[in-house]
Amino acid sequence: MSYNNENENKNNNERDFSNDQFNQNNSFNSTNSYSSNIQYSSSPELSPLQERLRREEEESKRRENRKGTKKGGYFISGLAGVIVGALIMWLLLPSMVGQLPNGSSNANNEPITPIEQTATEVTTDITSAVEKVSDAVVGITNIQEITDFWNQRSMEREAGSGSGVIYKVDGDKAFIITNYHVVEKAKQLEVTLADGMKEEATLVGSDIWTDLAVVSISSENVDTVAEFGDSDVLKQGETVIAIGNPLGLDFYGSVTTGVVSGKDRAVPVDLNADGVQDWETEVLQTDAAINPGNSGGALINIAGDLIGINSMKIAESTVEGLGFAIPINSVIPIIQELEVNGEVRRPTMGIGLLDLTEVPAFYQQQTLKLPEEVTTGVVVSEVVKGSPADKAGVQQYDVIVEMDGEKIENSIDLRQHLYNETDIGDTLMLKVYRQGKIVELELKLTEGTSV
């Protein structure tokens, strides 16, 4: 009985749904005339699949409606933020005008006071000394001939540069002091004046032992000549000024200052790059910065007088402020001779030299037969035939220990005595060890370019 009532209620519901659907169709047809031909299903119920599709469609429409609402909300929020930000900037901008880089007024719209400059020309003893000499300091470029390895062609190329000092004008020539190592092996020399003008230069003479050279240029464009001072009257602690071209012509005419750190310094040098010290150069020591390119430049005192020629610097990581210059009193006689002869004529003995300290102890005893107490001296490694030494009876393996009563400990001592204490034509008294016995000899010096 209950089953029949349920069926009856179901049939009544289906009829109600069909009537609703029919009414909807009539409403749609009355609005859209073109759809009158569409046939609608008169099925009394929807299938489960149709029912699910209908629910999904309704859910999709609800989501789209929500998205539209969110987008509208985002847009309104963003627009409101822009309006608020613009309003804040409009309110703050007047107070920031005085703080802008090019702002012309302050917070009170008052004009800003301009910055004042004071042009003060400072003149000191140092600036006066530099002004007096700087135009006499020049740059010297060493141009050498080299051969290309691949095509075996010779070409000229800049090999280096240094400094020089104009010290004399004689007629149409101007003479310049520089260092021997600045002009060494040069095929061509070029001088750069203080105004940048370049002049072709001629080598007048050079001397390897003193590291000095003289070159000449046309005097047409030379306006300033350095004045010689007296290096013998210098005092330790006295202010000195170095002028030159450190690291090349890019730093032309650089000026550094310092003091005389020491006088009469003897610095050993290796002249032929064989690792053996050949000579001791007498120099002034200064803490004024002297760098590569300063070589040949001027060292002047506070009066602007030339008291030295910058020569070298000890370049070690543990050494700071140790530069050297050749005293001008040692320079003058050398450059005078270079002007006249193109070289420094010195007396010669005609021998080869070898320090005794370089000879192994075995050969000192077996070959030279020296007494054990003899540990220093100079071994004669060779005797030039027909030389003063040959004529005086000097023999190979003689060990020179004394010259003119002065003890000789090494080859530097021998050269210093020969070149600084004697002249061409003098008679030199030698004391040597020969096969363990002392022999005294007299040697008459002649002119030559070697020992």
Catalytic residues: 181, 211, 295
CA distances from 287 to 137, 242, 260, 308, 323 (A): 20, 10, 7, 14, 6
Three-state SS at 323: strand
Selection from 238, 253, 421, 273 nearest residue 346 by Cα:
421
Q: Do the beta carbons of residue 137 and residue 244 sit within 8 Å?
A: yes
Q: Do the beta carbons of residue 190 and residue 183 sit within 8 Å?
A: no
DSSP letter for each residue of 225-275: -PPB--GGG--TT-EEEEEE-TTSGGGTTEEEEEEEEEEEEEEEE-SSSSS
Residue 417, both tokens: 């005595």
N-to-C CA span, the chain = 151
Cα 196 to Cα 219: distance, rounded to the nearest angstrom: 15
The number of helices, as runs of H, and strands, as runs of E, in the chain is 8, 20
Which ranges in 151-239 belong to alpha helices (H)?
180-183
Cα 82 to Cα 444: distance, rounded to the nearest angstrom: 107
Q: Which amino acid is at 337?
A: E
Cα 106 to Cα 100: distance, rounded to the nearest angstrom: 10
- Other residues' Cβ atoms within 10 Å of the Cβ of residue 384: 16
Q: Which amino acid is at 410?
A: N
284 CB-near residues (< 8 Å, 6+ apart): 231, 234, 260, 262, 263, 265, 299, 307, 308, 324, 325, 326, 327
- Other residues' Cβ atoms within 10 Å of the Cβ of residue 438: 13
